Every structure is written in structure tokens, then in C-alpha cells.
Amino acid sequence: MEKFLKQGKRKAVGNLHSMPALRCIKFEDNTLHLLDQRILPTHTAWIAHSDHIQVAESIRNMTVRGAPAIGVAAAYGMALAALNQADWSQAKQTLAESRPTAVNLFWALDRLDALTDKSPESVLAEAQAIEAEDLSMNHKIGESGATLVPEEATVLTICNTGSLATAGHGTALGIIRTAHQQGKVKHVYSCETRPRQQGLRLTAFELLHDKIPFHSIADSAAASLMRAGKIDFVVAGADRITANGDTANKIGTYMLAVLAHHHNIPFVIAAPSSTLDPNLPTGDHIPIEERDSTELTHAESIQIAPDNCPVYNPAFDVTPGTLITAIVTEQGILTPPFNIK
Ligand code: MRU
């Protein structure tokens, strides 16, 4: 296995709010630029990557995160490998070892592996196609998914599934965006998303950017909001969806699905077809990533737990397909019983 090397150079840029549309991935001049999501929203910097090993490290350390964005970044990682004439199989393996749960990573790597022409031009063109297709799929997901959102809806979501998690627009957040543009969304409640707080840091940033009315909430506030009748619709993204509709997504998603079921609230999953894994029959087969204990024991760099506190930190959970009202992909709306092919 190739060793992860130090990351590329970090470069400060201007205020993201002044940009026309949020983006987290740019490929220019044979260099992959990734917006550093570990320091958003208080700091803005792009990290330049000139080889696939740096890209693998940025996926592992979550400079780039979100299933579709990971797939796009990995595709550009392979384009860099081709440009640098690195060993193809070794580069593919290095990228494949960066994170285990989001199937988009393996989907993108397999798609590039299937190219008969692996010249740098051809691999780069395919990576660009993967990025462009993701953006277009997200707009379609937004349009279909918005038809499920009730008028004047208060919507609950978790993690970050927007432009910062994809090539643009987003999946679950894409549905919220489109439904909001159609005047259907009255308010959003965005779960903080412990322990890495993608909701508080990134979704709040995107909702502010789009001027969508919202409150960030502690994850543990979701139940009482539902009980109070304040949630009309729950929508979440996915990292992997198996043949029977079981869905791996950010830890805490399953809890929301159980709560939504109890309170009779629609619970919808949004994902592009690159997130489907029909090869796995059920969610029991999905590898669930466990991350470092410091994500819980430390707030930024300050220790908040006792020394040697034992920690269990799974990054994802699996929501059974039986708790999901609908799965929205770019191909349309699937309803139970799911039989994904
Ligand atoms: O650990 P992360 O931040 O990569 O987890 C992200 C999620 O769980 C998202 O909900 C999922 O990848 C879908 S993003 C469109």
C-alpha cells in the first residue's frame, strides 16, 4: 500500500458568500483544488493537489466529504495518477482505501477502471463527465423530490448534503433548495450532526448563503420538535443504498427515521444512482467506518473528556428500507417495497 503523504499547499481565498454558486471541487491546470471543509465556516481555503496520494489523504481526513463529492474527487485523483504516469492499480487501491462506506468512491474508481483508453486526456475527460453528471443528477433529484414536499413545510435534515457534499446543488439539501425556490419551504431545522457537526458548520453555511430560513438544532432536539408537531417532512442523503432499500448515512439518521415513523412523518432519502449498491442484498453488508476517538473527546483541539476515555465512534448508521417513505434518485421516486437493481 502506498503511504499517504503530506497534503498539498493551502491557499487563502476571498469570501465564499460573494461567489455565484457554492463549489467545493475545481480542476484547473492539472491541479485538483478542494475547499478545505475542516475549517469552514470560519475560515476559507482551497488545498491544491498534484497527485493521487494527496487526494486520498484529503478524502481520509475529510478536507472533502459527502458521498458524491468523494466520488468526484477520487475520479480527479485517478486523472492525476494518469497525468503523473503513476501505477494505475496501485493508485486505484490507494484511493479505494481512503474511506470505506460511501459507495460513490468505488463506483467512480470502477468507472475509470473500465476505460479502454487510460490516457491522461481520456481519464480527465471521464472525471469531468462524472462531475458534470453529478450536478445534473442533483438538479433532477431536486425537481422530483420537491414534489413530495408539502406546501408551507417545515423540513428536518441531517448532516450536509448540499453543494459542499456534491458537484453542486446537493441531494437532500438540493430538494430543500428546489422546494424553497418553489415557495414550499417555510422553515428548515438542521441537525447539528455530532460529532463532526457537518450540519452546524456546513449546512448552516449553505442555508445562510441561499437565504433559506432555518434553525440549527442539537441532534437530541429532533424528538421533541416532532412531538410538538413542528416537523412536516424529513429528508436525508445517503452513502450507500442496498438492494432492499437499506440506507447507510451519517450517524443519527436511523434515529430520525425511527422518530419520524413514530410520529407519522414522511422520511425521504435522496441520492444519485451512483450511491446505489444493488450488489449488496441488505444493509448488514455495508462496511461502517469508525473514526478517531478525538472527534468525541476533543472540541477543536481542546480535550473535553477524561484522559483515556473509551470511545466508540461509528461515522454512519443504517436505516432499514422499511422505515423509508421514498428514495429519490435522478431517475425518479422509488417507494417501498424497494427492489433496487
Ligand atoms: O462523513 P461525511 O461528512 O462524508 O458524511 C456525509 C453524509 O453522511 C451525507 O449525508 C452523504 O454522504 C450524502 S452527501 C450528498
**309 within some domain:** yes
Assess whether the C-beta atom of 126 lies below 6 angstroms from ligand 1.
no
Best of 160, 177, 256, 275 to mutate for ligand 1, by most ligand atoms within 8 A of CB?
160
Best of 34, 250, 251 to mutate for ligand 1, by most ligand atoms within 8 A of CB?
250
**Bridge partners of residue 126, in order along the sequence:** none
CA distance 72 to 189: 28
What is the model's pLDDT at position 10?
52
What is the model's pLDDT at position 21?
80
One domain for residues 148 and 212: yes
Between the CA of 315 and the centroid of ligand 1 the distance, in Å, is 9
One domain for residues 120 and 250: no
One domain for residues 156 and 128: no
- CATH number where 231 lies: 3.40.50.10470
**340 within some domain:** no
**208 within some domain:** yes
One domain for residues 181 and 279: yes
Non-local (6+) Cβ contacts of 29 within 8 A are: none
The answer to whether the beta carbons of residues 186 and 154 sit under 8 Å apart is yes
Q: What is the DSSP string of 278-338?
A: TTSSSGGGSPPPB--THHHHEETTEE-S-TT-----BSEEEE-GGG-SEEEETTEEE-SSP
What is the model's pLDDT at position 20?
56
One domain for residues 130 and 154: no
**84 within some domain:** yes
Assess whether the C-beta atom of 237 lies below 6 angstroms from ligand 1.
yes
Structural domain total, the chain: 2
Question: 211 — alpha (psi -120 to 50), left (phi > 0) or beta?
Answer: left
Distances (CA, A) of 128 to 169, 172, 330: 17, 23, 19
Which of 107, 138, 169 terminates a domain? The answer is 138
Assess whether the C-beta atom of 197 lies below 6 angstroms from ligand 1.
no
**Catalytic (active-site) positions:** 239
One domain for residues 186 and 312: yes
Give the CA angle between residues 272, 321, 277 to the nearest 5°: 40
One domain for residues 304 and 228: yes
First-to-last alpha carbon distance for the chain, in angstroms, is: 33
What's the DSSP call for residue 321? G
Between the CA of 116 and the centroid of ligand 1 the distance, in Å, is 31
| Strands 10-12, 276-277: pairing kind | unpaired
Best of 198, 256, 319 to mutate for ligand 1, by most ligand atoms within 8 A of CB?
198
Tell me the pLDDT of the chain (341 aa) as tens digits: 344 434 545 554 444 444 458 999 999 999 999 999 999 999 999 999 999 999 999 999 999 999 999 999 999 999 999 999 999 999 999 999 999 999 999 999 999 999 999 999 999 999 999 999 999 999 999 999 999 999 999 999 999 999 999 999 999 999 999 999 999 999 999 999 999 999 999 999 999 999 999 999 999 999 999 999 999 999 999 999 999 999 999 999 999 999 999 999 999 999 999 999 999 999 999 999 999 999 999 998 999 999 999 999 999 999 999 999 999 999 999 999 999 99
Between the CA of 187 and the centroid of ligand 1 the distance, in Å, is 22
Domain membership of residue 105 as a residue range: 2-138
Which of 120, 138, 156 terminates a domain? The answer is 138
Q: How many CB atoms lie within 10 A of CB 115?
A: 14
Assess whether the C-beta atom of 65 lies below 6 angstroms from ligand 1.
yes
Assess whether the C-beta atom of 51 lies below 6 angstroms from ligand 1.
no
The answer to whether the beta carbons of residues 240 and 103 sit under 8 Å apart is yes
Between the CA of 72 and the centroid of ligand 1 the distance, in Å, is 14
The answer to whether the beta carbons of residues 208 and 266 sit under 8 Å apart is no
- CATH number where 29 lies: 1.20.120.420
**37 within some domain:** yes
**341 within some domain:** no
One domain for residues 151 and 87: no
Which protein residue has the closest C-alpha to ligand 1 atom 6?
66
**19 within some domain:** yes
Between the CA of 64 and the centroid of ligand 1 the distance, in Å, is 10
Assess whether the C-beta atom of 206 lies below 6 angstroms from ligand 1.
no
Q: How far is CA 231 from the centre of its chain?
A: 23
